[in-house]
Amino acid sequence: MKKQLFLLVLSFLAVNLFAQKLDTDFLSDMPGACVIYSDKDGNRINLVNAQDCFYVRYRPAGTEDGITSKISIKKAFYTEIKFLEAVEGSKDDFESIVKPKLVNIFSYTDLGLRENLPSAFISQRNDLNGNLISSAVIDFYVPITNLISESDANGTVVIKCDRFGSLSPDEIGPFLNSDILPAAVIREMNTVKVGKTKNTQIGNIEISLPENFHLEQENCYALSDTTKRDSIIWSDIIRLDAMQLADFWTYFMIELLNVNAIVIPDSVEIQKMGNSVCLIYKVMDYEYYELNTCIVCLLSNDGNEFNILKINGYSQFIEKNMEMYKKMIESAKIK
């Protein structure tokens, strides 16, 4: 299991200590949370929460040199960003080059707009005549900043989140110096000929499952004549009160922060399918950089106990067979 899970364990202990429920705000600012941004010119910003401070590294395109600083970030009506210590470069470098970029990123959730989370929204800037200057896509699942991307008045993306997640302490150094992410490897896959379906129980969930799925192991089914990496479907069960979670949005965020892979930020979406609320996202695995799609669907009768239906597979396989999966998910019900 990925080392970053240790941080979540500590977070849960802290929550129990202070007798409060874990929510998306808490996870967004927990130790180890990290984000990487790149702008249209290829310049990059790496930002990580190191528990008692934040570290930020700005690296201009085409160079190995950068500006690394220890800083504090306090979120209120306006976000307060203060320089603490220079690691690479100088205080003047941070104040003149890096800080304005960070102020810009956080400005889209200032002025009380952060209260709209965990809902997704578009934050806009307008001039005195009401003309659009820029806009940003905001959502709860990007930690620290909540910014997915910023666009200019013409709709051109000028900065975007390339990666987010959570780190253990010994991963912070490599993260700050990490290179450009490689392109995802996409496997060519085929559309499945769906045969007859039958009502099948996976854990506590009953779904209409095509007969060409077979039982791989307890509560886990895979398509016949494919590898387990092509696509699998399985179930789980959680209780919000037992996990000290405020709501299911918090569970979705835990899901994203604990993926042992590179999450593609702009692939994340939440859909209602039948009786389920589903989180859908794409990841690249660390070993082969293959693009995979994950679908996590929650079903509940009481808003506290959730039965979870999970689907994983190569992205192109999921995309080419999405209608099959939608029908399966829409048929799902708690038995």
Chain segment 167-199, per-residue pLDDT in tens: 888 888 888 887 667 788 888 888 888 889 999
pTM for the whole thing?
0.85
Instruction: Tell me what the mean pLDDT of segment 212-216 comes to.
Output: 87
51-63: average pLDDT: 94
Is the pLDDT reported for residue 13 higher than 50?
no
Identify the pLDDT of residue 229. Answer: 60
Instruction: Give residue-wise pLDDT tens across range 74-111.
Output: 999 999 999 999 999 999 999 999 999 999 999 999 99
Q: Could you give the angle at the alpha carbon of 224 between the alpha carbons of 220 and 225, nearest 5°?
A: 135
Q: Band the pLDDT of 227: cuts 50, 70, 90.
A: low
Dist CA 315 CA 244 (whole Å)? 32
pLDDT at 91: 98
pLDDT score, position 260? 77
Average pLDDT value over all residues in the chain: 89
3-state secondary structure of 315: helix
Q: Is the pLDDT of residue 6 over 50?
A: no
Residue ranges of the alpha helices (H) in the chain? 5-17, 24-28, 91-93, 99-107, 172-176, 248-257, 315-320, 322-331
pLDDT tens-digit map of 115-163: 998 888 999 999 999 999 999 999 999 999 999 999 999 999 999 999 9
Position 17 pLDDT exceeds 90: no
d(CA 238, CA 309): 11
pLDDT at residue 237 above 80? yes
pLDDT for 189 equals 86
Amino acid 93 reads D
Give the pLDDT of residue 193.
Answer: 85
Q: How far apart are CA 160 and CA 334, in angstroms?
A: 39
Tell whether the model's pLDDT for residue 7 goes beyond 50: no
Q: What integer is the mean pLDDT of 253-260?
A: 88
Q: Is the dihedral of CA 17, 23, 25, 31 positive or negative?
A: positive
**Rounded Cα gap, residues 311 and 279, in angstroms:** 10
Second-level CATH architecture of 197-334: 3-Layer(aba) Sandwich (3.40)
Mean pLDDT value of segment 285-314:
92
The tokens for 207 are 């779904």
φ, ψ dihedrals at 146, nearest 5°: 65, 5
Q: Can you point out the beta strands (E) in 89-223?
A: 121-126, 132-138, 147-152, 157-166, 197-202, 205-210, 213-217, 220-223
* pLDDT for the residue 14: 42
Q: With pLDDT > 70 as the criterion, what percentage of the chain qualifies?
A: 92
The pLDDT value given to residue 190? 84
Helix boundaries (H) for 53-171 = 91-93, 99-107
Q: 87-117 burial, b if ≥16 CB within 10 A, otherwise e?
A: ebbeeebbeeebbeebebbbbbbeeebbeeb
Asked if 313 contacts 230 with a C-beta cutoff of 8 angstroms, the reply is: yes
pLDDT of residue 214: 87
Compute the distance between CA of residue 115 and CA of residue 77 in angstroms, rounded to an integer.
10
Q: State the span(s) of the chain assigned CATH 3.40.1000.10.
A: 197-334
Is residue 57 a contact partner of residue 172, using CB atoms and an 8 Å limit?
Answer: no
Residue owning tokens 């395109």: 61
* 272 compared with 226, residue with greater pLDDT: 272
Q: What CA–CA distance (Å, rounded) separates 148 from 263?
A: 12
